[in-house]
Amino acid sequence: MSTTIAPLEERSVSCSLDNYLVLPDNTMDARIAAARRELGSRAVVLGHHYQRDEVIRFADFRGDSYKLAQEAARTRAEYIVFCGVHFMAESADVLGRPGQKVILPDLNAGCSMADMAEIGQVESCWEQLVSLGLTDELGRGITPLTYMNSTAAIKAFCGERGGLVCTSSNAPAAFKWAFERNEKILFLPDQHLGRNTAFAMGIPLEECVVWDPFMIGGGVDPARLRRAKVILWKGHCSVHQRFLPEHVDRVRAQYPGIKVIVHPECRWEVCQKADGVGSTEGLIKMIAAAPAGSKFAVGTEIHLVNRMGKEFAKESKMVITLDESGCLCTTMFRISPQHLCWALENLTQGNVVNRIQVPDDVKYWSRVALDRMLEIR
């Protein structure tokens, strides 16, 4: 049955978000679809895998942070509507073409991990590393490497000092690139991704130290800093850090033969016990490549796990969460169908709401750092 949509001027289009937030979810679909049609190729909707079903179904492209950054760099659409979190929208603005506008449907959709590294703290850490003689100002000594989950200012900081950005899907290649330039890396802000990547490259745990921005000298003895190959920022993802080694043992006892696959933002102890580690896109591919009848317990955000559970059931594969309690990314969840509808309908009327704009001085160096990431293999 096809749904007839009233012409836009007859619909209750309003610039005020409050008027949308009171509307039920099921009234949004037809309106979002109509606004999407009306905008045509002028808009592209990008959706991260952690978005809710009611939102991601409207994405022109779904992906992990890396794939969505590639799409943002590729698209010629005038509007890039980013159903994801703030650092992803910022990166899209940095990678986009002049005149393109990036929209984040809810400005409160941040990332608690990205918030754990603030540019002033990073500058102060760097000054201390310079004063210890471990690097010079420009990064001759230490390569600064930041995870995509960080502010554009931190990406620019890394770009300006000979460093780069990575995502969970290309961290090993980024580490290799960084070590080709210096013997040491400063990795921001996720200690777990940094430790997991370093260890997988053969760097022992004793050669990874954790810099705590709230402690003098990062809370690390200067002698240990000198010996370290990787200086990890004390940051983490509160969603992934909740997965514990005992969850792996429990699910294996409950479902003999089950494969445990996890995101590299999980703790080292969890990744060590897992059968596979990968980005959101990587986790989907692992399950897609498995034979019918396979069982998976997945350590990542619950919306993606539930969606894979439904989709892969059609191929007779079982997909469950590694732990049933608390693996919702509350900031990803902030993008609701109402926010998406509000942003798109405003665009149809020429109103650009919730635009994400990175200042030009920050843009230049963060683009350098992001381009280096897009160029590595």
Binding residues for ligand 13P (CB under 6 A): 49, 64-66, 149, 167-168, 237, 263, 265, 279-280
Quote the CA–CA distance of 204 and 359 in Å, as a whole number: 40
Residue 306 touches ligand SF4, criterion: CB under 6 A = no
Handedness of CA 336, 237, 309, 46 (dihedral sign): positive
Of 331, 338, 346, 348, which lies in the binding site for ligand SF4, with binding defined by CB under 6 A? 331
Phi, psi (deg, nearest 5) at residue 24: -70, 150
Q: How open is the CA angle 366-371-372, to the nearest 5 degrees? A: 100
Return the closest-CA partner of residue 45 out of 86, 16, 75, 18: 75
323 contact choice in ligand SF4, ligand 13P, none (CB below 5 to 8 Å, kind-dependent)? none
Interface positions, 201-260, toward ligand SF4 (CB under 6 A): 237, 239
Residue 108: helix, strand or coil by DSSP? Answer: coil
Whole-number Cα distances in Å, 351 to 6, 16, 102, 348: 20, 11, 13, 7
Of 301, 362, 367, 369, which lies in the binding site for ligand SF4, with binding defined by CB under 6 A? 301
167 contact choice in ligand SF4, ligand 13P, none (CB below 5 to 8 Å, kind-dependent)? ligand 13P
Residue 102 touches ligand SF4, criterion: CB under 6 A = no
Q: How far is the CB of 164 from ligand 13P (least distance, A)?
A: 15
112 contact choice in ligand 13P, ligand SF4, none (CB below 5 to 8 Å, kind-dependent)? ligand SF4
Quote the CA–CA distance of 118 and 42 in Å, as a whole number: 35
Binding flags for ligand SF4, 332-351, as an x/- string (CB under 6 A):
x-------------------
331 contact choice in ligand 13P, ligand SF4, none (CB below 5 to 8 Å, kind-dependent)? ligand SF4
Interface positions, 31-90, toward ligand SF4 (CB under 6 A): 85
Sequence-distant (≥ 6) Cβ neighbours of residue 16 within 8 angstroms: none
Residue 192: helix, strand or coil by DSSP? Answer: helix
CB-nearer residue toward ligand SF4: 149 or 354? 149
Site residues (CB under 6 A) for ligand SF4?
85, 111-113, 149, 237, 239, 265, 301, 329, 331-332
